[in-house]
Structure 1
Amino acid sequence: MSSEDHMDQFEDEGEETIVEEGDDHDDIVDDNNDDMDEDQDKEEILLEDDSVQGFFAHKEPVFSVDLHPQQQHLAVSGGSDDRAYLWRLDTGEQVAALAQHGDSVSSVKFSSDGSLVASGGMDGKVHVYRTADPYAQCATLEGPDEIQFVTWHPKGAVLLAGAHDASLWMWSLPTGAFMQCFSGHSAPVTCGQFTHSGRHIVSGAEDGSVIVWDPKSAAIVRQFTSADERFHQDAVTCLAVSRDDQVILTGSVDSTAKLVHVNGTILGSLSGATESVEAVGLCDALPLAATGSVDGSLSIWDINTMRLRTTLRHDDSVTRVVWHDGEPLLTSVSMDCSVRTWDARTGECVRTWRGHQAGIMDVALTRDGRTAVTASDDGCCLVFSE
């Protein structure tokens, strides 16, 4: 209620208003001024733009973004407009509009050598293109239903997709030949990747399970399920694999992260969040792990001792965390519209970038960690650089 409304209320009642010393009128004015200052602060944050470039063709929420592993000026993005685009970080120029899906594009990814790029859609299709001119489509892959994510083998042209129907599918490219279907989860597959050696696949699902697979035979090598009370008791949302492929870090709706060994040992539980853990990452420079939660917390853990080192904070849900290559630096993005880089040794926020007008869904970093490209609910991709 404004101070004018406050006075009108008394006038409507026909009462004479007398403000005496000690009246609450000053408190009301102070409260109104505080509200105005807070609104002004929020407006200034929304108007702040640290980006050096942007891509604005989507017009609707953008869910996924990736960078070419060699030509790091080339990005791919996909979103709820059912489209994926190739575009340049340095100019914002659209390089190619990829074939339209019949539903939202949930995931986009370059192959390990950058020669191919894939877009996976909620229509159950994966489109694959050669990245050399003229970005010709080489395959359309079908089989699963709604695609949750796509990911490539680290050493070859083999593509994996996780689906809502609890299955994973694998194809050989550029021919698009079907290789394997993985069945073992009982609910939508939410996350997954090849191990760094490419010898195994790790996947997580809404049934609270994590499975280690043999990609050649589609056999289950190891399985962790909610039947074990030490493991997750709700949907698995995210996972990360250590550089030596020995340790897997998982996050869950049950507000915990679990650290497990590929031999089947549950190493421990990282229990610091109060809401769903939506992002996890393992540092390759120091024995550190990061977990990001819907409660806005970003926790740094020592995985040797399983102890919490520090808890950092965003102003809203943490959606993605990415460790820098060979450094104890971590970049996180959030629904608070910010991109933040942290020194995990000290907990210091060394950089904050703003520019989006809605929450950030995904981020990709250049190899040197100096440039970030983001995908946001505001329908834009922005480029931030030192």
Structure 2
Amino acid sequence: IGEPEGHSEWVSCVRFSPMTANPIIVSGGWDKYVKVWNLTNCKLKNNLIGHMGYVNTVTVSPDGSLCASGGKDGVGMLWDLAEGKRLYSLDAGDIIHALCFSPNRYWLCAATSSSIKIWDLESKSVVDDLRPEWNKEFKKKATVPYCVSLAWSADGSTLYSGYTDGMIRVWNVTSIQ
């Protein structure tokens, strides 16, 4: 997949859509593009253009209708995969390292260099801004660890986050309203 329509720089992330009737993958790259690929014929379906910096991460919603992308520009972009159009943007305020949709709520989670933001996609507002409690030793370091990977539990009650200090931090999100 890719020649001649592929990314011109590193491909940083690839995700499958759960829709079996219309099999696609979505890729994001350092060329600032999000690309949607039709797996039936291995051809490019859409170029999703809008990021001003490299794309670190893409994710596909549980129903396969939406894609979210994020990266250097600190903007989470939501895309309609059927139409190949941008729906709206969410400002994370910092580089986005990872994105994931909640399995059971209309939420998008973004790992940034400063925190983990959870957006309610209906209201387009931040419902939580998760930050670990750093001890004094960490605060003295030149760089504080940050989250680079995210995964929800199957029931959507727990968020797992991988950090640059080698730790996996676990967040109980059942109390967020």
Give TM-score scaled by structure 1 length. 0.40
Q: Deviations over 1:90-122 (max 9, x none)?
A: 223322221321111001111011121111112
Corresponding residue for residue 31 of structure 2: 81
Q: How has the CA–CA distance of structure 1 residues 130 and 175 changed in structure 2, closer, same or farther, with 3 Å as cutoff?
A: farther
Q: Deviations over 1:213-245 (max 9, x none)?
A: 122546xxxxxxxxxxxxxxxxxxxxxxxxxxx
User: Counterpart amino acid of 2:59?
Assistant: K
d(CA) in 2 for partners of 1:123 and 1:153? Answer: 23
C-alpha deviation, 1:84, in angstroms: 0.5
Q: Does 1:202 align with 2:150?
A: no
Gaps of 5+ in 2: 135-143
- Which residue, out of 85, 98, 107, partners 1:158? 107
d(CA) in 1 for partners of 2:75 and 2:95? Answer: 8
Q: Say if 1:81 and 1:104, in contact at 8 Å, map to a contact too.
A: yes
> How many residues are matched?
164
Corresponding residue for residue 91 of structure 1: 41
User: Counterpart amino acid of 1:197?
Assistant: D
- Secondary structure class of the residue paired with 2:73: coil
d(CA) in 1 for partners of 2:91 and 2:161? Answer: 20
Corresponding residue for residue 119 of structure 2: 171
d(CA) in 1 for partners of 2:62 and 2:54? Answer: 24
Coordinate RMSD, CA, aligned? 2.0
d(CA) in 1 for partners of 2:26 and 2:166? Answer: 31
Q: Say if 1:139 and 1:176, in contact at 8 Å, map to a contact too.
A: no
Q: Say if 1:150 and 1:160, in contact at 8 Å, map to a contact too.
A: yes
Corresponding residue for residue 135 of structure 1: 84
- Which residue, out of 121, 124, 130, partners 2:74? 124
Report 1:34-49 matches (<5 A): none
Moved over 3 A (4+): 53-56
Q: Deviations over 1:262-305 (max 9, x none)?
A: xxxxxxxxxxxxxxxxxxxxxxxxxxxxxxxxxxxxxxxxxxxx
d(CA) in 1 for partners of 2:33 and 2:2? Answer: 17
Structure ranking higher in helix proportion: 1
Q: Say if 2:17 and 2:60, in contact at 8 Å, map to a contact too.
A: yes
- Which residue, out of 104, 111, 114, partners 2:64? 114
d(CA) in 2 for partners of 1:99 and 1:181? Answer: 28
C-alpha deviation, 1:188, in angstroms: 1.5
Q: Deviations over 1:59-106 (max 9, x none)?
A: 111111111101452111000001101121222332222132111100
- Secondary structure class of the residue paired with 2:108: strand
User: Counterpart amino acid of 1:211?
Assistant: R
User: Counterpart amino acid of 2:159?
Assistant: I
Q: Which has the larger radius of gyration?
A: 1
Q: Does 1:103 align with 2:61?
A: no
Q: Does 1:193 align with 2:151?
A: yes
C-alpha deviation, 1:197, in angstroms: 1.0
Q: Say if 2:32 and 2:49, in contact at 8 Å, map to a contact too.
A: no
d(CA) in 2 for partners of 1:206 and 1:153? Answer: 23
Identical pairs, percent: 28
d(CA) in 2 for partners of 1:203 and 1:58? Answer: 28
Give TM-score scaled by structure 2 length. 0.83
Q: Does 1:69 align with 2:18?
A: yes
Q: Does 1:147 align with 2:96?
A: yes
Q: Say if 1:112 and 1:156, in contact at 8 Å, map to a contact too.
A: no
Corresponding residue for residue 239 of structure 1: none
- Secondary structure class of the residue paired with 1:98: strand
Report 1:258-273 matches (<5 A): none
C-alpha deviation, 1:171, in angstroms: 0.9
